[in-house]
Chain A
Amino acid sequence: MTEAVPIAYYLILAAILFSVGVASFLIKRNIITVFMSIELMLNAVNLTFVAFAHMWHQVSGQIFVFFVMVVAAAEAAVGLAIIIAIFRTRQTLNIDQVNLMKL
């Protein structure tokens, strides 16, 4: 007999991962790690989608996760190209020094 796990536990795990992603998004100073923490937050949200898909016995949540993955892949390609362009013009990866659009 398998013990059942409450859906709330999965959602709390996703909440932990999301808040760690938020914290590292704010704390990290390296532009690549900031970008990676966005991926961590996307993964946390994907976990909630899959948990809710399991809860409602519907496949639509999983399809949503599939589309999120596709968009994340496209976003990673474009974002890393932007990071390479920034590094080429400014010779730095520190986000404190990339402040051209700051007031």
Chain B
Amino acid sequence: MQLALFIIFGALAVAGALNFLFQRHPINSALSLVVVMMSLAVLYWSLGAEFLAAAQVIVYSGAIMVLFVFVVMLLNAGEEERTKGSRAAYIAGIPGAVAIFCLLSFVFLTERKALGTVNLGGHLDHAVSNISELSSILFTKLLLPFEVTSILILVAILGAVVLARKEQ
């Protein structure tokens, strides 16, 4: 079950990411990014993070990607054209990304034994459920950071309004 979930949704996430890379139109890229985020939500759930799975669907694919699609449609973004800069980026970018991937997967595969395995379901120490554990820490030990993030969101809203407003 765990393996099947991982293979199906991992493959879906990789396919979505590659489609994101190769699509030329921003709307197609945005929609394939939604596929990646939804399959990541399933993977979070399989790792025992139920709250984060719900938050991933609501915040990322629900709010952030809708904002992106909204801006793409508002600015009427068309297909991007190939330029000199993009050819240089191809030459430098693909080997660079492959090098990063090789380095990371080498480290992960050599440490494979130490990392252990995943079993389905929540595996937190002395926890009733994932959400109750998360919220009890968030509202007691980490209350100040939690409140500071609400101020951050407020500042971000004000900044977005100021930046997107029409100049007089």
Residues of A within 8 A of B (CB): 2-13, 15-30, 32-33, 35-37, 39-40, 43, 46-47, 50-51, 53-55, 57-60, 62-63, 65-67, 69-78, 80-85, 87-88, 93-96
Q: Which residue of B lies closest to A35 (CB)?
A: B68
**A53 is contacted by which of B49, B101, B152 (Cβ under 8 Å)?**
B49
Tally the A-B contacts, defined by beta carbons under 8 Å: 261
Interface centre among B1, B37, B71, B127 (most CB of A within 10 A): B71
Determine if A7 and B89 form an interchain contact, defined as CB atoms under 8 angstroms apart: no
User: Please, which residues of chain B bring their CB within 8 A of the CB of A72?
Assistant: 60, 64
**With A43-B40, A67-B145 as given contacts, are A83 and B75 in contact (CB-CB < 8 Å)?**
yes
**With A54-B118, A80-B160 as given contacts, are A36 and B36 in contact (CB-CB < 8 Å)?**
no
8 A-B pairs with CB atoms under 8 Å apart are A9-B10, A15-B101, A16-B101, A27-B86, A50-B52, A54-B47, A73-B63, A78-B159
Interface SS of B by simple majority: helix
Interface centre among B3, B47, B105, B157 (most CB of A within 10 A): B47
C-alpha spacing A70/B154, complex, angstroms: 11
User: Please, which residues of chain A bring their CB within 8 A of the CB of B156?
Assistant: 73-75, 77-78
